[in-house]
Structure 1
Amino acid sequence: MRRVCLTLPTNRPCAATIRAVAEEAAYGARRFGAEVHLLVLDSCDAPALAGHRETVAALPEVPGVVVHHLDEDGQRAFLREVITRSGAAAPEQLLDLMLPSRVSYGACTNRAFLIAEALGCTSVHRRDSDSRYQYLDGQPVFPLHHELASLGRRAADVSALVTRSRLDPACADRPVALVGGSFVGEMSVDVAEIQRLDPSVYEDVVGLSVPADHPEIWRRNLIAESFRGAGTTAFGGDRTTLTSVSPTRVDMCNIALDREVYGRVPLPPATDTIGSDYFLLHLVHDARLPGVLHNRHIVNFHTGERRSDEGFLAYQLRFAKFLLLGPHLDTVYAATRRAGDALLDPDGHVRTAAVAALLRDGARTAPAEGARRLDVLDRSYRTLGGRYATAADALTARRDRLLDEARRDMEDFALLADAWQDLTRASRTHGRPVPQHRESARCTA
């Protein structure tokens, strides 16, 4: 039986989302006959964690669905054993990169990758705690449908299942490595406020996320499309495209990856950095691995915390770190675009060592562009005034540290990439992680 991992990392109360994703897991087991492992990676404080335990315990037992709810103690125990078993150098540093004390979008997904390996899964399907499903005729629209229908199958065989194909025929014999959609609903709440306050400042700020070498017409289109997802059009029927999926067309709350990708290369473990978990989407695209783009978009919403002054400042710092990591990652992406098919070995697998070498090159990118970006942010935020001026003060106070962290984040990424295949091998021989509730008895090896 095909075994897959549907994962929900969370650091906030999300009982309703846990129940909804459990319904999606049940749909996957019922519709496709898969064994779906629902993996909730919980980094919440004690009250929220207790609430989630009650929610998980109350989930109905469903044939073909196994639920794992791991708090950070459980995750840490699993990681420590895997790292020790791997024999990798710098074990304590690796543990910190896999489970840092600060928010890391890449690290939480990397943990899901390793646990999925231990569970014997062939793919990872990621959702987020601040998302909901669309409905059609009273029924939820689950992205897992297209993910299980296409992922891992030969692209030529998938072509009959999709609405259209835009895939290079030369890639038809390669397996589908990625299936994804985006989100609908409100765009990023803080970026939307910048656009409302001053469209020209918005263009300056969001324009920092676009590599400088892009032609002006592409640049303007990318600025116009950034942070908007798939807009606001409600789902009215399936539209799917077999293609080389652009990272700008999908969102990490609505993504599935084949283990032949994440089993070879991890995500950046950068802390407090939005967008740091999109690296594998770029890699899949540049290596010309097939993907399926669908329109079963997740409904995006923002929690009350995101609208608070504390949440606002935290997001602005994460956004700034995203912009500062950009020059380093852009160096890598330029190299992966040039490499193309050379990123793959003769069997069509990603060359881990080649990617790690590019990451080390990216870490050596000069900090001048990062400094320029901070200057633009400072000028733009002070133009907006109010709490943006407060954010500018916070960025100024952290300026040198932020620039240094961007470089070190890339060095850490390269270190993790070097050790990654040892970690995935150790995970596969580890056996299953111990679930922390009643369903552990149903988890047979």
Structure 2
Amino acid sequence: MNHKTSTDRICLALPTNRACAEAITGIAEEAAYAARTFGTEVHLVILDSCDQATWTEHTRVVAELPAAPGVIVHHLDEARQRQFLRRTIRRSGLAAPDRLLDLMLPADLSYGACTNRAFLIAGALGCRSVHRRDSDCSYQVLDGERVFPIHHELASLGKTASHASAAVTETVLAERHGHRRVSMVGASFIGEPSVDIAEIEQRDAGVYHDIVSLWAPTHWSDEQKEQLVEESFKGAGTTPFTADHSTLTLVDPMRVDMSNIAFDHEVYERVPLPPATDTIGSDYFLIHLVHDAALPGVLHNRHIQNYYTPFRRTDAGFRAYQTRFVKFLLSMLYLNDVYGRMGAAADTALLDEREQVRGDVISGFLRESAGLDRTENIWRLDRVSTAYRKLGGRYAEFAELMDARREELLDAAQRDTEDFALLIDVWPVLVGAAQESGLGSAGA
């Protein structure tokens, strides 16, 4: 396995489908900081799904990055990502290679699939961890210096919890978990909400409450739903960073964001993320799994600064984002069921004899959930349609479009669940094939 190399390697990943020259420059600085401070070899992987003009601009930005000892940059367009995936899938010998390629690199936007590609590429490069950032985020600044989350990630990730406790501010972890590896380190964001529905709250607070509460399990009490609405999509608020604070704990999934996260390879090499397309939140699954499997993590306060890109303000951007939000709500019929099963299972049921996550248990949960009655999701669509029509304007127009696609949306949510189960089952073989073949010319 590539992880046995004497070189300590990590993957700092930036997936993007938009112009983001500033984000590329910033993450390159974070890579240089990591290499300089921790002596690790940093593979900065930019997964670029932009149009040709934007790709060309990004290529220029990458070429002008200052050379940094210990930092190796891989700027991969979709053609080179596809080349790597085809070779890896072919080497794996798995059945239905075209379907697997579509799950790994779909034609439509997929938050989970782009991160899954980073996971496979990290394996091909022999990296021990993946550290993910987003292209619509920037770093906070304190005393003229950027505040890099990787500082906490590399201080703890992969160490046993008992060893990592020396590098954190406080430890809130049962002693029985002290021998387990720190599997995840993360923080949240400050600035604009992560989901672009703030306008709904401004127009009608009651409608906002109704809409956001739809992602809760239906059996929750009104008080639980109220708390969920209050906490959802708001990150760490707006208070800027002033001093470090970190906690070794079982990290609450509501306290971290996928723009500010790092995973140990022992997690993502066993279970990938859902490959669902056009669905926000589809990349948060591993955060829940790490928590429910009682794998130690570190929660810190070097929050990313979140901002909205201009595209979200356009009519096309509005429709695209509202579709992703509705698909997220529909996915919760299945994911809430799986989260409930994971939470009810003892951590030992989710871990094998080496205390690593069991993909077969998770895919089993998913297949059972895929057979759930759709009545709950029909109710969700009805609630969204009623709420958006009440808001009027382009929300009412979107409701018309959504109503015309009801069956398609319902089918997609179930199919996404089945696809995720399939991908989990083949994932260890894909990871092994990536490790054996390496990145090759795709990394040129």
Q: Kindly state the Cα deviation for residue 47 of structure 1 after the two structures are TM-superposed.
A: 0.3
Q: Secondary structure at the match of 2:13?
A: strand
Aligned residues of 1:189 and 1:307 also touching (Cα < 8 A): no
Q: Kindly state the Cα deviation for residue 218 of structure 1 after the two structures are TM-superposed.
A: 2.6
Q: How does 1:193-232 map to 2 (within 5 A)?
A: 193-232=199-238
Determine the structure 2 residue equivalent to 1:413: 420
Q: Secondary structure at the match of 1:350?
A: coil
**2: distance between equivalents of 1:391 and 1:109?**
29
Say yes or no: does 1:361 pair with 2:371.
no
Q: Kindly state the Cα deviation for residue 162 of structure 1 after the two structures are TM-superposed.
A: 1.1
Determine the structure 1 residue equivalent to 2:163: 157
Q: Kindly state the Cα deviation for residue 189 of structure 1 after the two structures are TM-superposed.
A: 6.3
Q: 2:405 aligns with which of 398, 409, 422?
A: 398
Determine the structure 1 residue equivalent to 2:350: 343
Structure 1, residues 153-187: CA drift from partner, whole Å, max 9, x if none? 00011112211111122111100000000000011
Structure 1, residues 327-356: CA drift from partner, whole Å, max 9, x if none? 111111111111131100111111111111
**1: distance between equivalents of 2:188 and 2:70?**
27
Aligned residues of 1:245 and 1:285 also touching (Cα < 8 A): yes
Q: Kindly state the Cα deviation for residue 432 of structure 1 after the two structures are TM-superposed.
A: 2.7
Aligned residues of 2:83 and 2:442 also touching (Cα < 8 A): no
Determine the structure 2 residue equivalent to 1:376: 383
Q: Secondary structure at the match of 2:239?
A: coil
**2: distance between equivalents of 1:151 and 1:94?**
30
Stretch of structure 1 that moved more, 155-164 or 43-52: 155-164
Q: 1:185 aligns with which of 191, 194, 200?
A: 191
Q: Kindly state the Cα deviation for residue 434 of structure 1 after the two structures are TM-superposed.
A: 2.9
Q: Secondary structure at the match of 1:434?
A: helix
Determine the structure 2 residue equivalent to 1:61: 67
Aligned residues of 1:187 and 1:228 also touching (Cα < 8 A): yes
Q: Kindly state the Cα deviation for residue 362 of structure 1 after the two structures are TM-superposed.
A: 1.8
Equivalent pairs counted in the alignment come to 437
Q: 2:269 aligns with which of 263, 281, 292?
A: 263
Q: How does 1:45-444 map to 2 (within 5 A)?
A: 45-188=51-194, 190-341=196-347, 342-434=349-441, 440=444
| TM-score, length basis structure 1 | 0.97
Structure 1, residues 268-320: CA drift from partner, whole Å, max 9, x if none? 00000000000011100100000000100000000110111111111000000
The one-letter code matched in structure 1 to 2:224 is W
Q: Secondary structure at the match of 2:295?
A: coil
Stretch of structure 1 that moved more, 66-75 or 345-354: 345-354
Q: Secondary structure at the match of 1:5?
A: strand
Aligned residues of 1:69 and 1:435 also touching (Cα < 8 A): no
Q: Kindly state the Cα deviation for residue 122 of structure 1 after the two structures are TM-superposed.
A: 0.4
Aligned residues with identical type, % of pairs: 58
**1: distance between equivalents of 2:441 and 2:154?**
25
Q: Secondary structure at the match of 2:179?
A: coil
Q: Secondary structure at the match of 2:197?
A: helix
- In structure 2, runs of 5+ residues without a counterpart are 1-6
The one-letter code matched in structure 1 to 2:77 is D
Q: Secondary structure at the match of 1:160?
A: helix
| TM-score, length basis structure 2 | 0.97
The one-letter code matched in structure 2 to 1:83 is I
Q: How does 1:26-41 map to 2 (within 5 A)?
A: 26-41=32-47
The one-letter code matched in structure 2 to 1:237 is A
The one-letter code matched in structure 1 to 2:429 is D
Stretch of structure 1 that moved more, 198-207 or 335-344: 335-344
**1: distance between equivalents of 2:228 and 2:436?**
44
Q: Kindly state the Cα deviation for residue 215 of structure 1 after the two structures are TM-superposed.
A: 3.5
Aligned-CA RMSD value: 1.0
Aligned residues of 2:194 and 2:235 also touching (Cα < 8 A): no
Q: Kindly state the Cα deviation for residue 205 of structure 1 after the two structures are TM-superposed.
A: 0.1
Aligned residues of 2:194 and 2:306 also touching (Cα < 8 A): no
Structure 1, residues 86-142: CA drift from partner, whole Å, max 9, x if none? 111111000000000000000000000000000000000000000000011110000
Stretch of structure 1 that moved more, 345-354 or 426-435: 426-435
